[in-house]
Amino acid sequence: MDQKTRRIVVGVDGSEPAERALEWAAGEARLRDADLEVVTAWEASRPLYGAGAADVAAVARVEPGVRDAVAQHAQTVADHAARRAAALGARAVPHAVEGHVANTLVELSGGADLLVVGNRGHGGFGSLLLGSVSAQCAHHASCPVVIVR
């Protein structure tokens, strides 16, 4: 009988909460004999402040050189985190994915056994106990979600 490959997705952004989430996910991947997908999502756009209500989704694209630098940085973060997870004994694969962070993690939760995120990341609302990404993942993921404090 074929046994389905187990899969855990962990979101990382280089923050301390993401590091703790990675460590937890690596341990869980070892216990479950699961593959660990280490995901750094990134966007190379910025909102256009002052846009009208009908233009809420308006964004200004950044210069190609900046976009390339953001993509490279995201890959570096994912690679570093995957090496750290491997050092902790997990079978880890890094992924740097262009897209909105919460949407990307929710999408990747499809078919996963577990989605792991930190309670906060590099977002601008440091006073929040639960970040917007972790809240969106908890509400919309297709699999169980662990939010590591």
List of domains in the chain: 7-148 (3.40.50.620)
CA 86 to the chain's CA centroid:
17
Q: Which residues contact 47 (CB under 8 A, 6 or more apart)?
A: 58, 59, 60
> What is the per-residue pLDDT across 115-144, written as a single tens digit (0 to 9) for each?
999 987 655 444 444 568 999 999 999 999
What mean pLDDT do residues 39-48 have?
Answer: 78
Longest distance between any two alpha carbons in the chain, whole Å: 59
- Measured at the CA of 67, the angle between CA 61 and CA 69, to 5 degrees, comes to 155
Q: How many residues does the chain have?
A: 149
Q: Which uninterrupted H or E stretch holds 59?
A: strand 59-61
Say if residues 116 and 25 touch (Cβ distance below 8 Å): yes
**Residue 44 confidence (pLDDT):** 75
Single pTM value for the model: 0.83
